[in-house]
Structure 1
Amino acid sequence: MSVLVGIVMGSDSDLPVMKDAAKILDEFGIGWEMIISSAHRAPEKTAAYARAAAGRGLKTIIAGAGGAAHLAGVIAGHTPLPVIGVPIASGALNGVDALYATVQMPPGIPVATVAINGAKNAGILAAQIVGATDPGIMEKIIAYKDKMARQVEHKSEKLQQLGLEGYLEKMGGSKS
């Protein structure tokens, strides 16, 4: 399996969140690589990685960082590939600073940004990017979304069968 997605995080403390991107890419059968590289503490390494990514066959890069780090933006400034930013919850602002730093990019340097700690969605978006030109991956994405829709329908049917209180009991809670 060839590596098509790069996953970059600013610190090893981001790994518990960023692992979700790798897991969903595994589910879709998409090869990935993962590195730690900081936009501020290792700027040359980060820029070199971004500049070489397309030439090595990557199709997109997922970049996750906490605080007001600009990892996704720095990577986007050095690559023609689509970059997906994952703001990581940390510090006093619990990820809001990371969200603003990731989403507020200047014109010409776009970063697709998912929710705070939204690495799973970043992985799904990366799969959709790869799937745009790979029919096999596209079929897996369609099947994944169909499965989610069936799960919702199943839950709705159970709610109708059990009623409010019965469903809440099944979930381990109550309405009060």
Structure 2
Amino acid sequence: MSQPLVGIVMGSASDLPIMQAAAEVLREFGVPYEMRILSAHRTPEATLRYAREAVGRGLEVLIAGAGGAAHLPGVLASVTPLPVIGVPIGTKSLGGVDSLYSIVQMPRGIPVATVAIDGAANAALLAIQILAVRDRELREKLMAYRERLAQEVEAKDQELKDIKY
């Protein structure tokens, strides 16, 4: 894989089943990425170092998944100029609403884009949209992907009509 453009970070190994959806989407589009497990609470120095060094290493977008207190996306955003996309991870206790609120309620001046609970695939698509602003080939891949989505819906609609449901 060539120089990573997207960093996928998760607060715990237990987040991998959700966050791997981001990796799969990026791989489908041919966008190089890297994945790390870094905790805002358990490895704060390593987390801050990763975010501070991200630009210098050629990363252009960060995707951060976290559950519960879910401070990871905000901590990353606090020390990097890169766009950070937060993925709230569903939790047993509150279903992920706790994670969602923790990520989406960032203070003025430190934005974090936030997707749906367990929405890692959409986080990757948003990262692709950000990269596609200046990458025409990627933009064309994204437009073709959306056309395929539309065709799938149209095909399902036709199936429904055919069975006269």
Give TM-score scaled by structure 1 length: 0.92
List aligned pairs for 1:19-30, cutoff 5 A. 19-30=20-31
List aligned pairs for 1:58-97, cutoff 5 A. 58-97=59-98
Instruction: State the shift of 1:112 in Å.
Output: 0.3
Structure 1 position 145 matched with structure 2 position 126: no
% same residue:
59
Provide, for residues 106-163 of structure 1, a one-character-per-residue CA deviation record: whole Å limited to 9, x for no partner: 0000000000000000011111111111111111100000000010111111111112
Contact 1:88/1:117 (<8 A) preserved: yes
CA distance in 2 between partners of 1:30 and 1:4 (Å): 7
Contact 1:64/1:72 (<8 A) preserved: yes
The structure with the larger Rg is: 1
1:33 paired residue number:
34
Contact 1:86/1:117 (<8 A) preserved: yes
1:123 paired residue number:
124
Instruction: State the shift of 1:90 in Å.
Output: 1.3
Output the aligned Cα RMSD. Answer: 0.7
**Greater helix share, structure number:** 1
CA distance in 1 between partners of 2:120 and 2:70 (Å): 16
Q: Which has the larger displacement, 89-98 or 12-21?
A: 89-98
Structure 1's consecutive aligned runs of 4 or more residues displaced over 2 angstroms after TM superposition are none
CA distance in 1 between partners of 2:118 and 2:69 (Å): 14
CA distance in 2 between partners of 1:38 and 1:163 (Å): 53
Instruction: State the shift of 1:94 in Å.
Output: 1.3
Provide, for residues 15-52 of structure 1, a one-character-per-residue CA deviation record: whole Å limited to 9, x for no partner: 00000000000000000000000001111111100011
Name the SS for the 1:33 alignment partner. strand
Give TM-score scaled by structure 2 length: 0.98
Contact 1:99/1:116 (<8 A) preserved: yes
CA distance in 1 between partners of 2:142 and 2:58 (Å): 21
- The one-letter code sitting in structure 2 at the alignment partner of 1:56 is R
List gaps (5 residues or longer) in structure 1: 165-176
Name the SS for the 1:91 alignment partner. coil
Contact 1:67/1:91 (<8 A) preserved: no
